[in-house]
Chains A and B, each alone.
Chain A
């Protein structure tokens, strides 16, 4: 059974930094691309970032490019996103998802990031 478990969400001040983690199990982690998707309170889904199975390729939404960095440790079956220069509008539930060419077939339950003073 595929399991994705996000962690690291918390309250952080504007301008601050945070690293989220996503622990994966139940599949060959290193062979799959992974993505982060966020959902602001009461709003729709917004894709944030993706990385290839090896981590060599990374992609970012315009809204986070230059501030967020996606990475993975395939030896630990863990996906990360380092979030810097956080803004109030980054407040959201952050999901990690197993990223196939045909969509995201598995999602975690999400971790809440609140950016507020």
Chain B
């Protein structure tokens, strides 16, 4: 089945830009969704369909998807952005939802 690959961790200083990547074969042809999960909490959808934000999600969160890599970009990073981030897509070939392994964002 389809595999999504994420780097285990990303570190960034407050006010800087964090980029979290999600790799998969020809992922650019699929719709990718991103979740934020703070410690002890349920995940929250922060970007859907590659680049759309649900209501209530700050404009600092954006997404892109091309080729074999989808990217979640967080600008002007704040301490509250420290969390695990997961990418997800629907694999029509197997009729499965697939999650990436997750990336821990640390704000220095």
* Partner-B contacts on A (CB < 8 A): 35, 37, 44-47, 50, 59, 61-62, 95, 99-105, 107-110
Contacts and interface: CB of A to CB of B under 8 A. Distances in A.
A62 B42 CA distance: 24
A100 B48 CA distance: 10
Contacts of A100: 48
Given A45-B35, A62-B1, A104 B43 contact: yes
B52 A108 contact: no
B78 interface: no
Interface of B: 1, 31, 33, 35, 37, 42-45, 48-49, 52, 54, 84, 86, 88, 90, 95-102
A44 B101 contact: yes
A50 B90 CA distance: 11
Contacts, number: 57
B31 A102 contact: yes
B100 to A, nearest CB: 8
B43 A102 contact: no
A109 B96 contact: no
Given A45-B88, A45-B99, A102-B52, 15 more contacts: A44-B84, A44-B86, A44-B99, A44-B101, A47-B98, A95-B43, A99-B97, A102-B31, A102-B48, A103-B45, A104-B43, A104-B45, A105-B45, A105-B48, A107-B42
